[in-house]
Amino acid sequence: MQHVNIEIKAACKDHDRIREILENHQADFKGIDHQVDTYFRVTSGRLKLREGNIENNLIHYVRENQEGPKQADITLFKTAFGSGLKDILTKSLGILTVVDKLREIYFIGNVKFHLDKVEGLGTFVEIEAIGEDENADKEQLLRQCHHYLTLFGIPDEDLIAGSYSDMLLSVK
């Protein structure tokens, strides 16, 4: 499945405040997912295998590292936990890094919210306005991200340009 996201990642020291805002806006809470994302060495974009108790996917994505809203072109393939895919990818590509996190997942319409506790990095919030396919209205997705960025009161200095994998690689 291919689609376009516009997404924002920011440091967040107050998950309780964001959670309260989401609850006040009738966000649909999907649960807490313990996710282990294994990033593999690839020549283009990023490739990760997500293994969790809610979400299990092989994800390839291309995204610029920039603070604030950024477009991600994503190809998603649903997998089964413990399928053996990780072993094949590890042997053929090699592991770049592993991100271990607890993620609270919420939705309001097509906008997905993550409250993340990432091992070795800290706490974060992500906002993902998800387009149905690669022809989604990117301006509308961008407006949605800006709306929630403002609603949550996230200051510019908390915005993060890269991925958790980039951040972990930079501290090693």
Each domain of the chain, given as residue ranges in start order, spans 2-171
Choose which CATH entry (3.40.50.2300, 2.40.320.10, 3.30.70.580, 2.30.42.10) describes domain 2-171.
2.40.320.10
| Residue 5: strand pairing partners | 72, 130
Buried b (16+ CB within 10 A) or exposed e, 54-86: ebbbbbbbebeeeebbbbbebbeeebeeeeebb
The 10s digit of each residue's pLDDT in 32-47 is: 999 999 999 999 999 9
What is the overall mean pLDDT for the chain? 92
Q: What is the mean pLDDT of residues 139-163?
A: 93
The Cα–Cα gap between 106 and 52 comes to 16
State pLDDT tens for residues 64-110.
777 778 888 888 999 987 788 999 999 999 999 999 999 999 999 99
Q: What's the pLDDT score for residue 25?
A: 97
- pLDDT over threshold 70, residue 6: yes
Apex CA 153: angle with CA 129 and CA 108, to 5°?
30
Note the pLDDT of residue 1. Answer: 67
pLDDT at residue 10 above 80?
A: yes
Q: Which of 95-104, 126-135, 138-147 has the highest mean pLDDT?
A: 95-104
Of 68-77, 113-122, 146-155, where does mean pLDDT reach its minimum? 68-77
